[in-house]
Structures are given as C-alpha cells and as structure tokens.
Structure 1
C-alpha cells in the first residue's frame, strides 16, 4: 500500500499549514509507515493517508511524486 505522509520538518515549532510537506511511502500498514518515518526522521507527522486506485494514479501524475525509501 502507498501512503501519503503529511508532516512538519520540526517537532519543536507549532505546525503551520504553509509549512506542511508530504512524502510517499510504501508499507504494509499505516502503523508500519508511521514507524518508518519516526525511525528515520525528526519529522512531526500530521496525517497519514492510504492512497490507491484513481487517487494514486492522480498523485503519480504530479512531477514531484517519488516514493521515499529509507535505508536500514
């Protein structure tokens, strides 16, 4: 499953919509996706969204679409 992860780059500052970023991640479950991001980054995760079907196809048309892979 592909997850779109919305996050802030800094956990110490109050979240602002203008500073929200996103990344795409492949994981078996939402829990696994969250664990991967928390293990490899200092990001403040706002929301995780499972995307598939037409939504995934639409996101893949975005030139900024790229699956993030964390090296163990």
Structure 2
C-alpha cells in the first residue's frame, strides 16, 4: 500500500499549513509508516492510506515520488 504522510521538518515545530511537507511511502500499515520514519525528526501530522483512485490522482503530480526506506 502507498501512504501519504503530511509532516513538519522539525519535531519541535508547531504545525503550520504553509510549511507542511508531503511524502509518499510504501508500507503495510500506518504503524509501519511511523516506524520507518521514527529515525527522522519529523512532526508527523497525518498518515493517509491512498485508494487506487487517489493514488492515480497523486501520481499525476510532478512532485510524486515514493520514498524507499
């Protein structure tokens, strides 16, 4: 499954919409996503599993890349 992760670069930052970053990651569950990103100092706001239709939409973006962890 592919998950979309919304996060802030630094765990000490308060969530500010304009500074929210996005990454895509392949994992079996939301828990596994968080585990894979635990070594990064991210303030994870939201982890969303992408449906086939949503994934197809996201893949149209030039910024779409799946992180290899």
The two structures have a TM-score, normalised by structure 2, of 0.94
Q: CA RMSD in A?
A: 0.8
Matched position secondary structure for 1:38: coil
Number of the residue aligned with 2:4: 4
Higher-helix-fraction structure: 1
Deviation at 1:12, TM superposition (A): 1.3
Q: Which runs of 5+ in 2 are unaligned?
A: none
Deviation at 1:38, TM superposition (A): 1.4
The answer to whether residue 20 in structure 2 is matched with residue 20 in structure 1 is: yes
Deviation at 1:60, TM superposition (A): 0.5
Give the aligned length. 69
Q: Distance in 2 between matches of 1:27 and 1:54?
A: 18
Number of the residue aligned with 1:65: 64
Matched position secondary structure for 1:6: strand
Please say if residues 13 and 43 of structure 2, whose CA atoms lie closer than 8 Å, have aligned partners that are also in contact.
Answer: no
Q: Which runs of 5+ in 1 are unaligned?
A: none
